[in-house]
Amino acid sequence: MTTYSIRTFGDPVLRRPTAEVTEIDGAFAKIVGAMYETMYEAPGVGLAAPQVGVQQQFFVYDIGEGPSVLVNPVIVSGEGEWVYEEGCLSLPGLAFEISRPKLVTVKAIDLDGNEVIVEGDEMLGRVFLHEIDHLQGVLMLDHLDPDERKLAMKMLREQAFAGSVPGAAVPRSDHAL
């Protein structure tokens, strides 16, 4: 099975805007399949296209209910508030408590090209918000307060100075996105 290497902090692709998916065909399904494999291998519970260098608007996820993909996702609504210690596959070793809406509704296209409305509560809602951020070049660092952000940048710099392959020796969160 094909897998991608996951792009980590510092790779400009993580900050670039993505284009809408215009064609859902066999080639696209192949990319999605490789992204599922990459997500399971990481392991993570969500993976957005820019994290593997694909500048298109879609992400894959599996919070234990089987793999799914959402194409051209748009947030319809977010209600309530939920604090969760978030990790990101592109920021290996980092985890910070971040407050985001608890119940999230997203409109998207599925792999058959049909419009779907999906609702995510708590963990699933968190996955939707985190991955849609990735599609807009936003990282979880951007949700931290100034002190936390300073700490995060220090940790990332130390990783870089250690000279290791990014992520290779750094523990990842079990629920990284």
Question: Which of 7-15, 85-93, 103-111, 146-154 is the region at the interface with Ni ion (rule: CB under 5 A)?
Answer: 85-93
CB of 47 to Ni ion, least distance (A): 8
Interaction between residue 109 and Ni ion (CB under 5 A): no
Output 49 or 177, the one with its CB closest to Ni ion.
Answer: 177
In this structure, are residues 127 and 45 in contact, taking their beta carbons and an 8 Å threshold?
Answer: yes
Interaction between residue 177 and Ni ion (CB under 5 A): yes
Beta bridge partners of 93: none
Question: Which of 9-17, 22-30, 82-90, 147-155 is the region at the interface with Ni ion (rule: CB under 5 A)?
Answer: 82-90
**What is the DSSP secondary structure assignment for residue 7, as one 8-state letter?**
P
Residue at shortest CB range from Ni ion = 88
Number of helices (H) and strands (E), helices first, in the chain? 3, 7
Interaction between residue 54 and Ni ion (CB under 5 A): no
6, 31, 49, 88: residue in contact with Ni ion (rule CB under 5 A): 88
Based on the number of CB atoms within 10 Å of its own CB, is 64 exposed (0-12), middle (13-18) or buried (19 or more)? exposed
Three-state SS at 68: strand
In this structure, are residues 75 and 58 in contact, taking their beta carbons and an 8 Å threshold?
Answer: no
Binding site for Ni ion (CB under 5 A): 88, 177
